[in-house]
């Protein structure tokens, strides 16, 4: 699909990822970008910042209300399905989280069918692999849920349902789609809701306050941290691509431990503080592994996408934003 001149709607548009997707759509010449958000998790300030561009239209709406989606989708070419509960808030309110992630996604595909939307790019997750045993994980790796923490398994199941709703609607109605399975997303406009990215901003805030950063356990737990600008670029490339009916793992392919992240933060802030390790038995976790082995090879092969920003550079950008006086 051609981005230049196109009309696009972003559910959860005032979010971390949504705001960066909107910026890149505007840079690519999109004719209209609709930010559809109920601000339960999104930011009115971010929406106001983006709405300074006259091509941006802000619509307060909820994906659990089909009529609001139908109204907002009139004349829209492509939809970015970004709205949803992450693992941590879903664990705190599973009823609402599942309603948003499952019923909300059903409303999205129904509204797209009735409004003849051409393509959906869905924000899925590497959680769909559960707790895989494989040393290298790609799109063919099955969902191993029985050893996964229950909050992760519930969140993952909601994303698997979302991907399969899209598969069904492509088969029945020809709705084109791509599902993007993100690893741990971080960057400017970082929120406090992601289980794995949360410790980046929390550790930074502790360091700036002169307090020792706290690391759960021995800090060997690894994640694949992918910069939000790279994730946004994957979204725009997926919408522009002629590829349809596929899922892609959006990750760097590089594992970084919690210890590594704190060391980077201490280095970039010039802090002499030493981290403090402690056990957190009630902490919501998505993995305890020291290596994940995510392979983004399919995204490079079919979309031409690969991560461009390494974790140290990405955290440097996050710190610069956090210290900015005019940040949205």
- The verdict on domain 7-186+226-253+294-308 having CATH code 3.40.50.720 is yes
Helix (H, G, I), strand (E, B) or coil at 280: coil
Task: Using alpha carbons, select from 5, 56, 64 the residue that is nearest to residue 30.
Answer: 5
Q: Where are the domains of the chain?
A: 7-186+226-253+294-308
- pLDDT band for position 326 (cuts 50, 70, 90): low
- Is the pLDDT at 287 greater than 60? The verdict is no
> What pLDDT sits at residue 198?
77
Please give the mean pLDDT across all residues of the chain. 93
The answer to whether residues 15 and 42 touch, using CB atoms and an 8 Å cutoff, is yes
pLDDT at 284 over 70: no
Does position 291 have pLDDT exceeding 90, yes or no?
no
Do you know the residue count of the chain?
A: 328
Using a pLDDT cut of 70, give the percent of the chain over it.
95
Q: Give which of 97, 39, 36 is closest to 70, Cα–Cα.
A: 36
Task: List CB contacts of 23: < 8 A, sequence separation 6 or more.
Answer: 50, 232
Of 23-27, 149-153, 197-201, 280-284, where does the model show the most confidence? 23-27
Structure confidence at residue 196 as a pLDDT band (50, 70, 90): low
How high is the pLDDT of residue 288?
Answer: 56
Mean pLDDT score, 111-117: 98
pLDDT band of residue 290 (cuts 50, 70, 90) is: confident
Q: pLDDT grade, residue 324 (50/70/90)?
A: confident
Return the bridge partners of 139, or none.
none
Distances (CA, A) of 184 to 17, 70, 292: 12, 31, 12
pLDDT in tens, 71-108: 999 999 999 999 999 888 899 999 999 999 999 999 99
pTM of the model: 0.94
Per-residue confidence (pLDDT) for residue 218, from 0 to 100: 87
């Amino acid at each position: 699909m051609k981005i230049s001149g196109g009309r696009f709607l972003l559910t959860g548009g005032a979010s971390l990822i949504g705001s960066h997707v909107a910026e890149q759509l505007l840079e690519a010449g999109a004719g209209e970008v609709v930010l559809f958000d109920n601000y339960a998790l999104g930011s009115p300030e971010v929406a106001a910042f983006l709405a300074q561009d006259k091509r941006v239209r802000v619509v307060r709406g909820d994906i659990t209300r089909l009529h609001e989606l139908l109204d907002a989708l009139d004349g829209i070419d492509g939809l970015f399905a970004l709205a949803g509960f992450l693992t941590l808030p879903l664990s705190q309110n599973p009823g609402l989280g599942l309603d948003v992630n499952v019923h909300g996604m059903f409303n999205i595909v129904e509204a797209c069918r009735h409004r003849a939307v051409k393509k959906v790019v869905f924000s899925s997750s590497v959680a769909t692999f559960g707790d895989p045993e494989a040393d290298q994980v790609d799109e063919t790796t099955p969902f191993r849920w029985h050893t996964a923490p229950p909050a992760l398994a519930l969140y993952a199941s909601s994303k698997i349902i979302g991907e399969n709703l899209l598969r069904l609607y492509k088969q029945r109605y020809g709705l084109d789609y791509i599902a993007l399975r993100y690893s741990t997303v971080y960057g400017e406009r970082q929120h406090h809701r992601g289980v794995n990215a949360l410790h980046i901003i929390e550790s930074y805030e502790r360091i700036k306050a002169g307090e020792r950063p706290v690391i759960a356990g021995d800090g060997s737990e690894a994640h694949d941290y992918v910069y939000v600008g790279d994730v946004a670029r994957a979204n725009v490339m997926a919408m522009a691509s002629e590829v349809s009916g596929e899922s892609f793992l959006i990750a760097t392919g590089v594992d970084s431990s919690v210890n590594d992240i704190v060391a980077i933060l201490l280095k970039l802030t010039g802090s002499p503080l030493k981290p403090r390790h402690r056990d957190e038995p009630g902490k919501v976790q998505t993995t305890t592994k020291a290596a994940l082995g995510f392979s983004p090879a399919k995204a490079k092969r079919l979309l031409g996408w690969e991560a461009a920003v390494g974790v140290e550079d990405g955290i440097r950008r996050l710190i610069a934003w956090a210290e900015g006086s005019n940040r949205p």
